[in-house]
Amino acid sequence: MDLNPAQYDAVHTRSGPLLVLAGAGTGKTRVVTYRIAELIRRRTRPERILAVAFTNKAADEMQARAAALLGKRLQRRPEISTFHSLCVRVLRRNVKRLGYPENFAIYDRGDQEGAARSALREIKVAEGSLRPGDLLYFIGKWKSASVRPEQAAARAETDKEHLAAAAYRRYQNALKAAGAMDFDDLLLCTEELFDKHPAVRRAEAGRFDHLLVDEYQDTNASQYRIVKALAAGHRNLCVVGDDDQSIYGWRGADVAHILRFKTDWPEAKVVRLEINYRSTREILEWSNRLIAFNKLRHPKRLQATRRGEPPRILQLENELKESQAVVGEIARRIAEKKRRPRDFAILCRTNEQPRAFEMELRRANVPYILIGGTSFYDRKEVRDVLAYLKTLANPADEASLLRIVNVPPRGIGQTAVKRLMEGAVRSGKPLGQVLASAGNIAALSDAAKKGIADFHALLERYRRLLNARSARLAAIIKSLIDEVGYRDELARLYPDANDRDVRWASVEELVNAAAASESKNSPGKQGSTHAALISFLRETALTGADADRDKESKLRRNAVALMTLHAAKGLEFREVYMVGMEEGTLPHHRSIGLNNDGPAIDEERRLCYVGATRAQRRLTLTLSLNRRKWGKPRPTICSRFLYELTGKADNPNYLAIRQGRANAKRKKRNG
């Protein structure tokens, strides 16, 4: 009784390939969890079911709902995780075949930047020619397309790309020497394992009889091939997704994977979920009209279960008037008790747009949250403590060692670090091993030698503690923090008491997380604390990369949500303001430059569609008639999507925009 006919069909199709096209707000998570429960009810052993999601939040929600349906009587549970968590488990069992240690480290963004900086130094690239962030962009793009270092040079076109290709090899060698992987490597190495070791592929695929994949439209090349490898034998593959919400092409997602599912799996059944339980009929009429302009898509049309007021379009003189109008209206509705702050979302296309709205929200004293700020795991104090733990867990992790070698200060300055690095190069040993013999490096001062000796002794002592079965992980971390005097270091760096207390609270929260991890992974068992540390570091690495964690905690506050359209995917709000509906903003000027009416514009249209379908009761679209560029007001052109949303695609202005003539006229007018 909880399922509509299409949902029921998807849940009760128990074998063979199945594509569930789940439109926005149509209850896809319910379908996945009910399907898991139905498989178990029909005698599939729970541990033989694998469900894969893209974020920890989605996986946790799926796990919680499945547990609620199945009850406590089951001794075993289905395996529900993210792609990256799944790959970590596969690699932990088999990674030695690829020349990595079983306890390999997972580099976060900060670690990657350190490795990128070293790689650029190694090939003597001038600082202005290629920044570490640029190098990581190119490496990420190549890895998303399964391009290895030896293949990158052939793909390079510009001078920057050729430099990046040269540095890519050094970067990858540095990671392997440190016994580390970045997030893309987790997928690539799993794919490599399956390619080079068929027995491993068969063993991992043989663990499951059913595979379910959520958000299939967001899979990249590696994820697509991993899914095929795991499902090829039993062919009981259920994928759930919506090609109309594929908005991550810029990070490697390929909408073609969901579009060609029937080609890959010819016997596949297709079920369309089209009843939307979120938005009003009026909002869905506009949304359906818009997305129909994308030709390469599975045909579907969302149907509403409620009615409401038509969406609105507001034209304002400039971006200041736009922010004042939007915030003024929100403030009035809150003051009139018609809505709470958390009922509103302001959605922007670019990271720069929120600034004007932040200023107005502050001026109006309206509480707000900016989604996309610093993650908990990106905070300096958290990264410092984690660097200590990573160094203890993996002595070869040079990036972590360099981060904390003089934090807090212990007399090991930049000159001493340089001498240590030179000693490591001469001896061919990892930096961690050179610490033990630093007393033999004549170029080091006596103060530096003492600081290094004390630091090395500290690390060795805590490594011994970690191997003791009587120790608890949280207690060891707390002792380490106290012994190095990290609270005093925070007091030295941050004189403001409030700032200092907030940062110390983050350190305390990390210790709490370690205790919770140890309790969860080995309840009632007294095993090696080193193993508990490895598990904890893997959890933090996988969680730290998932922006949805921080997003979810922020959204629990009673505040207006201010975020980009990309960050809004998967969320819903009573009232949504989509701002900056102009050519060059939405669609973005880069997409127009790539092709004025091609695949890049299709993705921008999907992004607009995602924004519109976040609204439950009220949708407002705004545009500025003038917007400042380099301090000077410039006239704008109305977004082509406004014509498509409103059914005015026969307007001559719209036709001019589609043909690229409007932009040419504006350039001529602006001289």
Catalytic member of 185, 214, 218, 539: 214
26 part of the active site: no
Catalytic member of 182, 215, 242, 546: 215
614 part of the active site: yes
Measured CA angle at 279 (ends 614, 311), to 5 deg: 80
Sorted by sequence, the CB contacts under 8 Å of residue 173 that are 6+ apart come out as none
Q: Which of 104, 101, 135 is nearest to 118 (CA)?
A: 135
277: number of Cβ within 10 Å: 14
CA-to-CA distance for 142 and 107, rounded, in angstroms?
18
- E strands, 334-447, where? 344-348, 368-370
438: number of Cβ within 10 Å: 21
Strand order in the sheet with 237-241: 79-82, 49-53, 210-213, 237-241, 18-22, 269-273
Catalytic member of 26, 28, 218, 617: 28
* Residue 297 token pair: 């898509």
Catalytic member of 190, 245, 613, 636: 245
CA-to-CA distance for 84 and 67, rounded, in angstroms?
22
CA-to-CA distance for 622 and 638, rounded, in angstroms?
10
- Cβ-based burial of 593 (10 A; exposed 0-12, middle 13-18, buried ≥19): exposed
Catalytic member of 13, 29, 433, 646: 29
28 part of the active site: yes
Q: Is 306 helix (H, G, I), strand (E, B) or coil?
A: coil
Structure-token match 């406004």, residue found: 642
Locate all alpha helices (DSSP H) within 414-496, ordered by sequence: 414-427, 431-434, 446-466, 473-484, 486-493
**Contact criterion met (CB below 8 Å) for 555 and 572:** no
Catalytic member of 272, 390, 614, 618: 614
245 part of the active site: yes
CA-to-CA distance for 153 and 164, rounded, in angstroms?
9
CA-to-CA distance for 499 and 513, rounded, in angstroms?
21
Give the active site residues: 28-29, 214-215, 245, 614
